[in-house]
Amino acid sequence: AAMYSGTAAGPPRRDFISVTLGPEEAVGVGGYNNSKAWRRRSCWRKWKQLSRLQRSVILFLFAFLAVCGVISYTSMGEAWKSITSKSLDDQRTEQAIPRLKLANPAVLPAPQKADANHGDYPDLSLQKPPKLPHVRRGPSNLQIRAPQRATRLKTRHDTMRAVEELVEVDKVEKTEKSIISWRGAVIEPDQSTEPPSSKIMEPEKPSSVEAEDQKEPVPINERQLAVIEAFRHAWKGYKDFAWGHDELKPLSKSYSEWFGLGLTLIDALDTMWILGLKEEFEEARKWVANDLVFDKNVDVNLFESTIRILGGLLSTYHLSGDSLFLEKAKDIGNRLMPAFKTPSKIPYSDVNIGRGTAHPPRWTSDSTVAEVTSIQLEFRELSRLTGDEKFQKAVDEVMKHVHTLSGKNDGLVPMFINTNSGQFTHLGVYTLGARADSYYEYLLKQWIQGGKKENELLEDYMRAIEGVKKHLLQRSEPKKLTFVGELAHGHFSAKMDHLVCFLPGTLALGAHNGLAADHMKLAETLIETCYQMYAQVETGLSPEIVHFNLHAQKGHKDVEIKPADRHNLLRPETVESLFYMYRFTGDKKYQDWGWEILQNFNRYTRVPTGGYTSINNVQNPSNPEPRDKMESFFLGETLKYMFLLFSDDIDLINLDKYIFNTEAHPLPIWVPA
C-alpha cells in the first residue's frame, strides 16, 4: 500500500510507506481482539514445548538485557541534561552576541567572547600584560614596550554592563558639572556616462593577510570602554534623528545632506567592527544592503566620496569578509571614473554619480592638489580586488604626472592644479595644511601599500620632508615648540592648521618602515606641539587654526587664536598621530594626552540627547557655541583612533599589515612585512 502526503503550501511532497499485511488481516478475518487472544495462547503453547535449559537461557538473556537497559538509561540521562543546559547557555550567548553570518572569514578576530566562569563587572581584575611580539623593523627606539596594565572584562555581557555603568557615571557627572547650556541653539553652519565595467573579474579573497593565524584578542580596557560608550552615544543620536542621512544635527535633532548617501553610516562601519559593536554593525549592514543606492542624480566630491565611501566600503569588506561591501565599492568606484575624463587626466573635483558627468567647481577649472593625489590608495586597492586595472591606471597617471611637474619648492607642492593644462596654479604658497596635507601622507602610504617598490613616491616623500625642514619649521616662544608654518611668496607665516597634525603620525610611520631616524625625532617634537594646541586652550580642545608666537611676550602663551579660527570640528589628526606614536614607542604619555582630549570632547561637545557637535568657540568653556553638526569623520576617524590609541594589542590593525587611508579606513598592505 502507498500513502501520499502533500503540503498545502509549496510544492507537493510525496512520502511512501509500505506496509505488509498478514493474510488474515488482509482479508479481515476475525476482529482485532480475537486475533490478540489467539496469539497469546499460541505463544504460551510454544514456551511450554521448550526444554528447561532453553527456558533458563532465555530468562537469563532477558534479565541481562534489563540490567544493561537500566545502566545505559542513567548515563544517557546525565548526558542529556548537560546537552540541554549547554544549548540553553549557547542560546543565551547567541542572544547577547548575535553572530554575523558572513560569506568569508573575517580578518579581525570576532569580539570578546563570553567566559561564563567569571563574575560580574565592576569587579575588574588585573590581568597579565599581553605579550607584544617583537617589532622587526625600524630603529630600536621604536620598539614597543610592554603595557603596564590592562583590564580584563570577562564576558561580552560584562563589557556592555561596564559601558552602561560608564553612561550612568557620565550622566551623574553631566548634571553636576555640565556647562553646556545650549538650549537648542541652531547654527547652520559634459562628460559621457561610463557604464559600470563589464569586465570585472571574480573578486580576490578579502585580504592578503586574512589567512594568517588569529591570536587571542587582548581584552579591552576601561579607556577603550569609554570610547565605546562615546561611540554608542554618538550613534544613538545618528540613529534617532539622522538614520540613513549624511550627518547628524544633534541639537536640532535632524540631519544635513551633502551627497545623500548615508555618509556617517558608511564612514562608521569599520569603526563598529573594530569596537566590536556587532549589533549596530548588523543594523547598518542591512541599510547598506537594502537602502544604499548610488544610481542617484547627485554631484559628489571625488576626493570626499573616495576616502569616506569607497575607502569605508573597502576596509569593511576586508575586516568582515562580507562581499556586499565589495560589490558596493565596485559600484561607487565605477561611478566616480568619469572624473578622470579631462584634457590633462587630472580629475575634476565633482562627479554626478547618476548621470556619469564630471566637472570642476563653478568658479574655476582647477582641482585641489591634495584631492587629486589622495584617492590613490583606494582606487589601487579596487583594481587589485576586481582585477580591473583601469582604476589603478587612472590614479597612478596622476601621481606620475605630478612627480614630473615644475613649480615645487624643495618637494613642497602648491595647492592647486589645472585640469586642462595639468600645471600647478597659484604658485608660491606652500602649506602642510588644507589643500596640500594628504598629498604628503599618500606619497608615503602608497609606497608602503605597494611593497616599498615605487621609488618615485619615496623620492617625492623624502624630498618633501626635507622641504618642510628647510622652509616651514620654526620654534615658538616661550615654550620653544617646534611647529610647521606656511610659506607665501617667500614670507614665512607662523600659522598652523590643526590638519597639519597628521604629520607626526606619518613621519613615525615612515621611520617605522625604515626611513631616516630623524623623522622620528621630528615626529616626537611635533606631536608635543599638537598636544599643546589643545592643552593651552581654555576648553582643552584645539581650534581649527593657530598662530604661534615667535617672540616671547609677557602673559602670552605659544598659541594665539584668531576669532575666525576658534572652532573645533571634532577632527582626528592629533589623536591619529598619538595613536602612531604610542604604537611605535609604547610611551604612555601619548595615551594620557588622548584620554584628556576624549574627556574634553565629552565635556564640551557631547549633546545629552545623543551625538556630539562641532563647536564655534574653544576659548569659552561656559559657552563653546555648538554648531549643531557631527561630522562623519568623528565616528570614522576620531573615535576609531582613540580606541586604537588606548589598545595595547598591536594586532588590532597591525601596522605592518594595514595602511590607513586618510579617513582612517585600514586597507591591506599588498606585501605585508
| Least distance between ligand DMJ and beta carbon 504 (Å) | 14
DSSP lists the bridge partners of residue 658 as 668
User: Left if phi > 0, otherwise alpha if psi is -120 to 50, otherwise beta: which for 254?
Assistant: beta
Q: How far is the CB of 663 from ligand DMJ (least distance, A)?
A: 5
β-partners of residue 467 are none
> Is position 662 annotated in a ligand binding site?
yes
- Which residues, numbered 480-509, are part of the site for ligand DMJ (CB under 6 A)? 499
Q: Specify the residue, 150 or 541, whose C-beta has the smaller distance to ligand DMJ.
A: 541
Cβ distance 558 to 481 under 8 Å?
A: yes
| Strands (E) located in 283-387 | 299-301, 350-352, 357-359, 366-368
Strand locations in 576-668 (E):
658-660, 666-668
160 Cβ contact partners less than 8 Å away, ≥ 6 residues apart: 96
Write the DSSP symbol of residue 564: G
Q: What are phi and psi of 667, to 5 degrees?
A: -120, 150
Q: Does 616 bind ligand DMJ (CB under 6 A)?
A: no
Which of 237, 572, 610, 666 is the binder for ligand DMJ (CB under 6 A)?
Answer: 572
Minimum CB distance to ligand DMJ, residue 637 (Å): 6
DSSP 3-state helix, strand, coil percentages of the chain (rounded to 5)? Answer: 45, 10, 45
Residue 477's closest CA among 431, 520, 532, 527? 532
662 binds ligand DMJ (CB under 6 A): yes
Cβ atoms < 10 Å from Cβ of 343: 11
611 binds ligand DMJ (CB under 6 A): no
Length of the chain: 673
d(Cα 415, Cα 424) in Å, to the nearest integer?
A: 8
Q: Taking CB under 6 A as the criterion, which residues in 636-655 touch ligand DMJ?
A: 637
Q: Which one, 316 or 357, has the nearer CB to ligand DMJ?
A: 316
- The residue (of 383 and 438) whose beta carbon lies closer to ligand DMJ is 438
Q: Give alpha helix (H) positions in 499-559.
A: 503-512, 517-535
- Report the residue from 210, 460, 649, 663 that binds ligand DMJ according to the rule CB under 6 A: 663
Using CB under 6 A as the binding rule, the residues of this chain from 427 to 466 that contact ligand DMJ are: 438
Q: Which residue, 447 or 633, is less far from ligand DMJ as judged by CB? A: 633
Residue 164 neighbours by CB under 8 Å, 6+ apart: none
- Closest to ligand DMJ by CB, 322 vs 663, is 663
Rounded to the nearest whole angstrom, what is the least distance from the CB of residue 238 to ligand DMJ in the complex?
A: 17
Least spacing, CB of residue 118 vs ligand DMJ, in Å = 39
Neighbours of 67 (CB within 10 A): 9
Q: Is 665 in the site for ligand DMJ (CB under 6 A)?
A: no
Binding mask 289-318 for ligand DMJ (x = CB under 6 A): ------------------------------
* Grid cell at residue 654: 597591525
633 binds ligand DMJ (CB under 6 A): yes
DSSP label of 140: G
Q: Which is nearer to ligand DMJ, 121 or 579 (CB)?
A: 579
By CB under 6 A, what part of segment 76-115 binds ligand DMJ?
none
Closest CB to ligand DMJ: residue number: 662
* Minimal distance, residue 115 CB to ligand DMJ, in Å: 37
Q: Which DSSP category does 25 fall into?
A: H
Interface with ligand DMJ includes 264 (CB under 6 A)? no
In the complex, the smallest distance separating the C-beta of residue 662 from ligand DMJ, rounded to whole angstroms, is: 4
Under rule CB under 6 A, residue 571 binds ligand DMJ: yes
Closest separation between CB of residue 499 and ligand DMJ, Å? 6
So which residues are the catalytic ones? 304, 437, 544, 573
Nearest to 348 by CA among 328, 380, 375: 375
The Cα 169–Cα 179 span in angstroms is 17
Q: Write the CA distances from 194 to 326, 334, 386, integer angstroms.
A: 19, 8, 17
Strand-by-strand arrangement of the 366-368 sheet: 366-368, 416-418, 424-425
For residue 399, give the nearest of 355, 332, 447, 358 by alpha carbon. Answer: 447
For β-strands 495-497 and 299-301, DSSP reports them as: unpaired
Please, which residue, 320 or 438, has the CB nearer to ligand DMJ? 438
State yes or no: residue 246 binds ligand DMJ (CB under 6 A).
no
Query: Strands, DSSP E only, in 390-437?
Result: 416-418, 424-425, 429-430
Number of residues that bind ligand DMJ (CB under 6 A): 8
Measured from the CB atom, the residue of 156 and 571 that comes closer to ligand DMJ is 571
**In angstroms, what is the minimal distance from the CB of 370 to ligand DMJ?**
8
**Quick check: 546 and 561 in contact, CB under 8 A?**
yes
CB nearer to ligand DMJ: pick between 504 and 572: 572
Binding site membership: which residues?
662
Which residues are near ligand DMJ by CB under 6 A?
438, 499, 571-572, 633, 637, 662-663
Binding site membership for Ca(2+): which residues?
662
